[in-house]
A and B are shown apart, each in its own frame.
Chain A
Amino acid sequence: MIGLEALYILVGGMFAAFAASHALDRSNPKRWRSAVFWGCFAVVMLAGSWLPHLASGVLVLVMVVLATMGLSPGKDVTTEEAAREASANTLRNRLFLPALAIPAITLAGTLLLPVVRSGGAPLVDPKQVTLVSLAVGALVGLSLALRLLRTGLATAAAEGRRLVDAIGWAAVLPQMLAALGGIFAAAGVGKVVAGLATGYIPMTLPLVAVVVYTTGMALFTVIMGNAFAAFPVMTAGIGLPLIVGKFGGDPVIMSALGMLSGFCGTLLTPMAANFNIVPAAVLELKDRNAVIKVQAPTAFFLLFANTALMAAFVFHR
């Protein structure tokens, strides 16, 4: 059965290739920083399932130290703008095919893979169909792009390294944040925060409860970086006992708008690195908070709108 382990070997192999490419880059005196950083990441990806947790932890700490020192990647090998321009003029719209193949195949795989069976068992782990489909989409896109550009895997590795160098340590930040979420959960941080919110704000009016619930969802998401982590805590702490229990509100309207209020928080926080910090790195922006700054006015308006909608409709059954 194809599951996560197969994907981890693929991803680990890719990052190992990036690390090797850095290690061989003799023109860069600081090449070991990038080589060791991506090398450690590759080892955790490949061996994380059977490596002692302490060993993974030490590898992670090495990565953090290197990232703090600065990765200082060497110059990337790629083509000049004139060559790209010329290539664009010959390949024209065929260039879009591999890019569009990725989502198309991801979608097709998500729909079709669950029914494919080999020897009585499902071919793909049913829980991981989306990720496996994405990987298949990336591989098909890669082979299409290789044929289109008439080049080999070495070029693909070099171009992939160019992108990962532009993104830098931000590439592992989402995973580190997820790890922090795990530690927060183990230490019971969520319950303490919810206790603070419910303990100190007098909620004798339905409107106050609604405002505390929606802004609480947004604030908690800003802190945790994830609306999914905020929802159970805020809904169990304020939503269900007060809005539904005490004031007789509709749990469906409350939950739907509460979750969307959490999404407003996601737009505002560097803790949601995948959406806010990584794209700033991917797009090579000078200010790593530039995406959050652009999103803020829309986020605040929608938080206000969600609160108003909830106040207007949640109590009318």
Chain B
Amino acid sequence: MLVLSGIAVVILGFALRFNPLLVVTLAGIATGLAAGFDPVAVVAMLGKAFAENRFIAVAWLVLPVIGLLERGGIRERARTLIVKLRGATAGRVLTSYFVIRQLTATLGLTSLGGHVQMVRPLIAPMAEAAAEKTAPLDGETRDLIRANAAAVDNIAVFFGEDVFIAIGSILLIRGFLEQYGISVTPAHIALWAIPTAILAFVVHAIRLRLLDRRLARRKTVAE
């Protein structure tokens, strides 16, 4: 039971809005100590686990490219394209991105997207520009549109990738069931991801239409 102290630290720390990096580190230390390791061993455990997970940082290699392109005006260019496009709204821009992201994910192309590569330089500026066509954006509305852009990137890929038979989660399910002597085909697992994939699109597309309505109301209030 004592090993759960780490979870308590996490819940309390996030609830009190401490720095997440501090919260997570303290949770690790608390868990290690509760499991009976001495403090020096716990710090070494932390260092070992941090070093073992360095592969996660490889994704940051795109930072210089995206930074350079922003300097070159990629966000401004993305905005210009949307301003020229008649009928573009924030919701429609994001729904289109949802469709592209989900369909490519069902083909296993999960790298076609991402918050640093796609959302920040392209998708968020496009959605913001579309919303600005009706009325200028205040900081709060801009943040709302950006948060929606990030959410679309997540939801579309989560509920798209499981339709692809060679994705990590399907391989995990298959490997796990095999340990228990249940042999299954990846295609069968993938098949059962399709209903949720369709529902995810329908529900989120409706919510994006509601976002558009909310943004349009903002205009009438402004007038």
User: Which residues on A are within 8 Å of B, measured CB to CB?
Assistant: 4, 7-8, 10-11, 14-15, 41, 44-45, 48-49, 51-61, 63-64, 67-68, 78-79, 81, 84-89, 91-93, 95-96, 98-99, 102-103, 106-107, 110, 128, 130-131, 134-135, 137-139, 141-142, 145-146, 148-149, 151, 155-164, 169-184, 186-189, 192-193, 223, 227-228, 231-232, 235, 240, 251-253, 255-257, 259-260, 263, 266-267, 270-271, 273-280, 282-288, 290-291, 293-295, 297-298, 301-302, 305-306, 309
Q: Which of B67-75, B85-93, B129-137, B214-222 contacts A (4 or more CB under 8 A)?
A: B67-75
- Asked if residues A267 and B158 are in contact (CB atoms below 8 Å), the reply is yes
Q: List 19 additional contacts besides A160-B64, A286-B143, A309-B195; criterion CB under 8 Å.
A: A51-B47, A56-B51, A57-B46, A57-B50, A60-B25, A88-B80, A91-B77, A102-B117, A134-B59, A138-B61, A159-B71, A163-B66, A163-B67, A163-B70, A231-B176, A279-B150, A279-B154, A288-B20, A290-B144
Closest 8 CB pairs of A and B: A159-B67, A88-B73, A57-B47, A56-B47, A48-B51, A179-B49, A160-B64, A256-B192
Known A48-B51, A228-B168, A302-B199; judge A159-B70 contact (CB<8 A): yes
Complex interface residues of chain B between 90 and 123 (CB less than 8 A to chain A): 109, 111-113, 115-122
- Asked if residues B115 and A85 are in contact (CB atoms below 8 Å), the reply is no
Which residue of chain A lies nearest to B18 when distances are taken between CB atoms in the complex? A68
Neighbouring B residues of A228 by C-beta, 8 Å: 168-169, 172
B147's partner among A64, A107, A240, A283 (CB-CB below 8 A) is A283
Q: List 14 A-B contacts (CB under 8 A).
A: A44-B51, A45-B57, A51-B47, A88-B72, A95-B72, A134-B111, A183-B45, A189-B7, A271-B10, A283-B119, A283-B149, A286-B139, A295-B151, A309-B195
* Min CB gap B40→A, angstroms: 7
Known A92-B77, A99-B66, A302-B200; judge A223-B153 contact (CB<8 A): no
- Asked if residues B203 and A298 are in contact (CB atoms below 8 Å), the reply is yes
How far is B168's CA from A259's CA once the two chains are assembled, in angstroms?
Answer: 11
Neighbouring B residues of A130 by C-beta, 8 Å: 111
Known A256-B193, A279-B153; judge A179-B53 contact (CB<8 A): yes
Known A55-B47, A279-B150; judge A159-B68 contact (CB<8 A): yes
* Min CB gap A57→B, angstroms: 3
How far is B49's CA from A172's CA once the two chains are assembled, in angstroms?
Answer: 13
User: Which residues on B are within 8 Å of A, measured CB to CB?
Assistant: 1, 3-4, 6-7, 10, 14, 19-22, 24-25, 27-28, 31-32, 34-35, 40, 43-77, 80, 109, 111-113, 115-122, 124, 139, 143-144, 146-151, 153-155, 158-159, 162, 168-169, 172-173, 176-177, 180, 182, 184, 188-193, 195-196, 199-200, 203-204, 207
Neighbouring A residues of B119 by C-beta, 8 Å: 279, 282-283
- Asked if residues B74 and A96 are in contact (CB atoms below 8 Å), the reply is yes
- Asked if residues A8 and B60 are in contact (CB atoms below 8 Å), the reply is no
Chain B residues touching A, majority SS: helix
B173's partner among A92, A255, A284 (CB-CB below 8 A) is A255
Neighbouring A residues of B31 by C-beta, 8 Å: 180, 183-184, 187, 189
Neighbouring A residues of B56 by C-beta, 8 Å: 174-175, 178, 274
- Asked if residues A48 and B54 are in contact (CB atoms below 8 Å), the reply is yes
B54's partner among A8, A58, A96, A139 (CB-CB below 8 A) is A8
Known A68-B19, A99-B121, A131-B55; judge A173-B24 contact (CB<8 A): yes
How far is B189's CA from A252's CA once the two chains are assembled, in angstroms?
Answer: 6
- Asked if residues B49 and A187 are in contact (CB atoms below 8 Å), the reply is no
Which residue of chain B lies nearest to A182 when distances are taken between CB atoms in the complex? B49
- Asked if residues A293 and B64 are in contact (CB atoms below 8 Å), the reply is no
- Asked if residues A54 and B44 are in contact (CB atoms below 8 Å), the reply is yes
* Min CB gap B59→A, angstroms: 7
- Asked if residues A84 and B76 are in contact (CB atoms below 8 Å), the reply is yes
Which residue of chain A lies nearest to B74 when distances are taken between CB atoms in the complex? A95
- Asked if residues B111 and A107 are in contact (CB atoms below 8 Å), the reply is yes
- Asked if residues A61 and B20 are in contact (CB atoms below 8 Å), the reply is no
- Asked if residues A231 and B173 are in contact (CB atoms below 8 Å), the reply is yes
How far is B107's CA from A163's CA once the two chains are assembled, in angstroms?
Answer: 31
How far is B48's CA from A51's CA once the two chains are assembled, in angstroms?
Answer: 9
Neighbouring B residues of A11 by C-beta, 8 Å: 54, 57-58, 60-61
How far is B195's CA from A7's CA once the two chains are assembled, in angstroms?
Answer: 39
* Min CB gap B58→A, angstroms: 5
- Asked if residues B139 and A180 are in contact (CB atoms below 8 Å), the reply is no
- Asked if residues A61 and B21 are in contact (CB atoms below 8 Å), the reply is no
